[in-house]
């Protein structure tokens, strides 16, 4: 008789990329199941890893994506078989030596010895931790706890500080609470008017566009505010093409029109807000003609935008990174919230203000303690009541919990200095590519006594490390994520990670055990989530009533959900805002120039962003063949008139220079952006690293760097081999690591410059 075929292994999970968290089903073939690893530590393996076999991706009819995914989602399983997948720890036997495979015991012992020595010599804050907005809720929680309990260090922050911090700060200031979208995505499809400020969702989260398509089919209108005529702007009824960095002035101008032309919802303002008189006084100077001079948006278009919003029965104001990644990002989002409040949108069913969160767990990642100033449940670390509660959950004296630490960029900028960390543990972040003024940050990483990076491949940051720890991927572990709606989701595990690979939770638990805290750090996701539920109870982001079982039995659960009988909260602020008196705050804010305006030496604005095929620093997507084929190299977009003036032809090499560094890329001529503005995507390393140029000026409230605008010079390259990728003060090149004879590992680094830095012999 024929032998029956082995059953297919399946897992219901979510895409490993953006905060839309599209639902997907992963299916492993019988051949794949036979090849999969055991998870057993049986000594070092080849640095290039071993293939666990093919996995099929199927889209699920989940509420966020409704059976659709973008190319990144469809190809995401190729990450599981990346040619340069790491399956054993790597370590430098001495400072000037290349990385070599070692056992887990040896790697963890050396990390522990370094932590103990450096903290003994320089104090607890000598060891820092840097997390990521892609980590699961369980990992974010465990990482924050590890820093404060096992390390007793205040030196912890994460790359979400570069993503959502301005919108979060503004939401807390105005509403008393930050949840990216305080309503479900479905509500967008039924809005009569939507204004999107600084979002190119068509390329950053394509399945989101179906809601705007349905909105248009339902008779609604879309207004897009962006310096570029993006794919999203092309779908709009009205495109407001602003001068980079002037979103705040535009928002104030639109609110001025709403107040002076009789569009304000006076009943709502009287019943549910405070601060109207103070706001009126500031808005009085933002008449349309002045706003046109500042922003470049015609007066008629300003009136048209307000009329669309005000005449709609339901309307929404949505913001994203284009408005937020500025040194005045918090005030810009506050001005947009003011506009929404003047029109009476927040807390009104089917209307409101929302922020389109970027990273996969950008929402949950900032709720449970990996931010420098927070404890789990979105509690303030300086709050004595919060410290008492968390101390009980953690089983520690609340007085031993450190206070607030430095924000992300400030911590990175202090690395290796007498005032900053001497060692850094990085999980879920590739800051050598993604940090602003990246040349300076790579020089600070090189100044550390100990750099430890946990990753599944040798990213540009991992290539600089003293020790690299191979970690599991999203399909190889359980965990929860919180998407841009505040919907808590569950990722099921398809199969174990390859032999020799550990999960981030297991790595945290192993290090904590070596530091004397074994009983406090479980390595199993469910145990961590159950503790997170208790820790978040009573906080702003209350997960107490959310369990793996409830998530699985439904399409996720919206927080806050204080107990298991509570249905969750899809729509917030319907009765009151989260302020002490229940009223939203109208906070007057003034426009101010960008931190670095154009001048004769640097006469053009640079703005940065993403392309459809790639994600964040590209550490994942630059390893997937179809995505590389779709977008093989970086480029700079230049208006054809500017290109003609500068003598630049289509595809010709161009040097873009700021006060911090230089980027060399081919030119792409397009009339979709302003004559005075150039655009660089930020997914690439080496000579094409956009963040070699970006400004590290910080928002005074959120500590968000000004990624989205700086002044640059643009010129054709006469000698393509002349590539000064520097920070004007420190090298911007990223050293290459040599790992045994694994050619895929060596080949993955994309920098053109020769290896340099402290780890090169």
Question: Domain 165-356 adopts which CATH fold?
Answer: Dimethylsulfoxide Reductase; domain 2 (3.40.228)
pLDDT the model gives residue 760: 28
Sheet with 315-319: list strands edge to edge. Answer: 238-240, 221-225, 193-197, 315-319, 352-355
Answer whether residue 607 shows pLDDT above 50.
yes
Angle at alpha carbon of residue 430, lines to 429 and 432, rounded to 5°? 140
What per-residue string of b and e applies to 459-497 under the rule 16 or more CB within 10 Å gives b? bbbbbbbbbbbbbbbbbbbbbbbbbbbbbbbbbbbbbbb
Mean pLDDT of 569-581: 97
For the chain, the distance separating the N- and C-terminal CA atoms, rounded to the nearest angstrom, is 63
Strand partners, 239: 224
Answer whether residue 47 shows pLDDT above 80.
no
Pairing of strands 90-91, 100-101: antiparallel
Three-state DSSP class for residue 509 = helix
Task: Return d(Cα 658, Cα 535) in angstroms, integer.
Answer: 45
Looking at the chain, the whole-number percentage of residues with pLDDT higher than 90 is 88
Answer whether residue 30 shows pLDDT above 70.
no
Q: Cβ atoms within 10 A of the Cβ of 414, count?
A: 17
pLDDT the model gives residue 381: 97
Task: Return d(Cα 224, Cα 607) in angstroms, integer.
Answer: 17
pLDDT in tens, 719-736: 655 554 456 544 333 333
Three-state DSSP class for residue 37 = coil
pLDDT the model gives residue 727: 61
Task: Return d(Cα 683, Cα 698) in angstroms, integer.
Answer: 22
Please name which of 208, 155, 213, 150 lies closest in space to residue 180, comparing C-alpha atoms. 208
pLDDT in tens, 552-569: 999 999 999 999 999 999
Strand partners, 26: 11, 57
Task: Return d(Cα 713, Cα 692) in angstroms, integer.
Answer: 14
Calculated CA dihedral for residues 361, 365, 367, 369, nearest 10 degrees: 170
Torsion over CA: 271, 363, 360, 246 (sign): positive
pLDDT in tens, 225-282: 999 999 999 999 999 999 999 999 999 999 999 999 999 999 999 999 999 999 999 9
pLDDT the model gives residue 752: 22
pLDDT the model gives residue 93: 92
Domain spans, the chain: 9-81, 90-162+361-524, 165-356, 604-684+690-724
9-81 with 165-356: one CATH topology?
no
Task: Please check whether residue 450 is in contact with residue 466, taking contact to mean a CB–CB distance below 8 angstroms.
Answer: yes
Torsion over CA: 208, 214, 215, 220 (sign): positive
Mean pLDDT of 277-295: 98
Task: Return d(Cα 635, Cα 653) in angstroms, integer.
Answer: 9
Answer whether residue 314 shows pLDDT above 80.
yes
DSSP 560-629: P--STT----SS--SS--SSTTSPEE---------SS---SSS-EEEEEE--TT--TTSTTGGG-HHHHH
Answer whether residue 712 shows pLDDT above 90.
yes
90-162+361-524 has which CATH code?
3.40.50.740
Task: Return d(Cα 700, Cα 329) in angstroms, integer.
Answer: 9
Answer whether residue 106 shows pLDDT above 70.
yes
Place 31 in a pLDDT band, splitting at 50, 70 and 90.
low
pLDDT the model gives residue 750: 29
Q: Tell how far CA 69 is from the center of its chain.
A: 19
Task: Return d(Cα 578, Cα 572) in angstroms, integer.
Answer: 9
pLDDT the model gives residue 229: 97
Three-state DSSP class for residue 467 = strand
- The packing angle between helices 299-311 and 288-295, to 10°, is 110
Task: Return d(Cα 358, Cα 204) in angstroms, integer.
Answer: 8
Three-state DSSP class for residue 746 = helix
Q: How high is the mean pLDDT of the chain?
A: 91
pTM of the model: 0.91
Task: Please check whether residue 16 is in contact with residue 79, taking contact to mean a CB–CB distance below 8 angstroms.
Answer: yes
9-81 has which CATH code?
2.20.25.90
Q: Name which of 26-40, 293-307, 593-607 the model is least confident about.
A: 26-40
Quote the strand ranges of 419-576, DSSP E: 423-427, 450-455, 467-470, 479-482, 487-491, 557-558
Three-state DSSP class for residue 189 = helix
Strand partners, 546: none
Residues 6+ away with beta carbon under 8 Å from 243: 227, 294, 295, 296, 605, 674, 676
The CATH number corresponding to 604-684+690-724 among 2.40.100.20, 4.10.910.10, 2.130.10.10, 2.40.40.20 equals 2.40.40.20
Residues 6+ away with beta carbon under 8 Å from 522: 505, 509, 528, 531
């Amino acid at each position: 008789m024929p032998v029956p075929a082995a059953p297919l292994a399946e897992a219901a999970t979510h895409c490993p990329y953006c905060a839309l968290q599209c639902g997907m089903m992963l299916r492993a073939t019988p051949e794949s199941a036979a090849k999969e690893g055991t998870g057993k530590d049986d000594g070092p393996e080849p640095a290039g890893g071993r293939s666990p076999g093919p996995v099929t991706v199927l889209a699920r009819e989940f509420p966020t994506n409704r059976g659709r995914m973008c190319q990144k989602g469809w190809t995401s399983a190729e990450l599981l078989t990346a040619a340069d997948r790491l399956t054993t720890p790597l370590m430098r036997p001495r400072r000037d030596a290349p990385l070599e495979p070692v056992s887990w015991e040896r790697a963890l012992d050396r990390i522990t010895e370094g932590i103990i020595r450096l903290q003994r010599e320089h104090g607890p804050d000598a060891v820092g931790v840097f997390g990521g907005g892609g980590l699961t809720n369980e990992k974010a929680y465990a990482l924050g706890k590890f820093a404060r309990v096992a390390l007793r260090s205040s030196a912890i922050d994460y790359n979400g500080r570069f993503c959502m911090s301005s919108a979060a700060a503004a939401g807390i200031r105005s509403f008393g609470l930050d949840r990216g979208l305080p309503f479900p995505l479905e509500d967008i499809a039924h809005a009569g008017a939507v204004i999107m400020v600084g979002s190119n969702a068509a390329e950053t989260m394509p399945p989101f566009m179906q809601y705007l398509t349905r909105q248009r089919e339902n008779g609604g209108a879309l207004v897009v505010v962006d310096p570029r005529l993006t794919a999203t702007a092309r779908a709009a009824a009205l495109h407001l093409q602003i001068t980079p960095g002037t979103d705040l002035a535009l928002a104030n101008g639109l609110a001025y029109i709403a107040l002076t032309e009789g569009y304000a919802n006076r009943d709502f303002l009287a019943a549910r807000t405070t601060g109207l008189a103070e706001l009126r006084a500031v808005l009085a100077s933002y008449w349309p003609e002045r706003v046109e001079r500042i922003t470049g948006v015609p007066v008629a278009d300003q009136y048209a935008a307000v009329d669309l919003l005000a005449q709609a029965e339901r309307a929404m104001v949505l913001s994203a990174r284009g408005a937020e990644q500025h040194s005045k990002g918090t005030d810009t989002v506050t001005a947009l919230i003011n506009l929404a409040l003047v029109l009476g949108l927040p807390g009104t069913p089917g209307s409101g203000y929302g922020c389109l969160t970027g990273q996969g767990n950008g929402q949950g990642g900032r709720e449970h303690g990996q931010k420098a100033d927070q404890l789990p449940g979105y509690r303030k670390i300086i709050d004595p009541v919060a410290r008492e509660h968390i101390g009980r959950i953690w089983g520690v004296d609340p007085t031993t919990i450190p206070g607030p630490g430095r924000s992300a960029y400030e911590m990175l900028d202090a690395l290796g200095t007498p005032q900053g960390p001497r060692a850094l543990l990085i999980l879920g972040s590739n800051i050598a590519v993604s940090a602003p003024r990246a040349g300076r940050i790579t020089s600070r990483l090189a100044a550390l006594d100990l750099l430890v990076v946990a990753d599944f491949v040798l990213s540009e940051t991992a290539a600089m490390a003293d020790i690299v720890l191979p970690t599991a991927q999203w399909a190889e572990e359980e965990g929860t994520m919180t998407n841009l709606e505040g919907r808590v989701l569950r990722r099921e595990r398809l199969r174990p990670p390859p032999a020799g690979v550990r999960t981030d939770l297991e790595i945290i638990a192993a290090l904590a055990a070596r530091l004397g805290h074994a009983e406090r750090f479980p390595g199993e996701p469910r145990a961590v989530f159950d503790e997170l539920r208790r820790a978040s109870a009573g906080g702003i982001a209350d997960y107490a009533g959310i369990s793996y079982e409830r998530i699985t039995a439904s399409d996720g659960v919206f927080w806050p959900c204080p107990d298991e009988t509570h249905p969750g909260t899809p729509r917030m602020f319907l009765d009151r805002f989260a302020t002490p008196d229940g009223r939203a705050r109208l906070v007057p804010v003034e426009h101010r120039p960008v931190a670095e305006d154009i001048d004769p030496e640097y006469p053009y604005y640079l703005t940065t962003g993403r392309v459809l095929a790639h994600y964040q620093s590209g550490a994942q997507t630059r390893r997937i063949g179809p995505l590389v084929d779709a977008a093989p190299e970086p480029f700079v977009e230049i208006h054809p008139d500017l290109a003609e003036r500068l003598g630049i032809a289509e595809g010709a090499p161009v040097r873009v220079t700021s006060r911090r560094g230089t980027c060399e890329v081919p030119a792409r001529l397009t009339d979709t952006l302003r004559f005075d503005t150039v655009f660089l995507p930020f997914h690439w390393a080496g000579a094409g690293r956009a963040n070699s140029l970006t400004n590290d000026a910080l928002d005074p409230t959120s500590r968000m760097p000004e990624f989205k605008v700086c002044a640059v010079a643009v010129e054709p390259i006469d000698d393509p081999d002349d590539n000064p990728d520097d920070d004007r003060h420190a090298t911007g090149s990223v050293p290459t690591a040599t790992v045994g004879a694994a050619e895929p590992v060596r080949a993955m680094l994309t920098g053109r410059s020769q290896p340099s830095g402290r780890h090169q012999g």
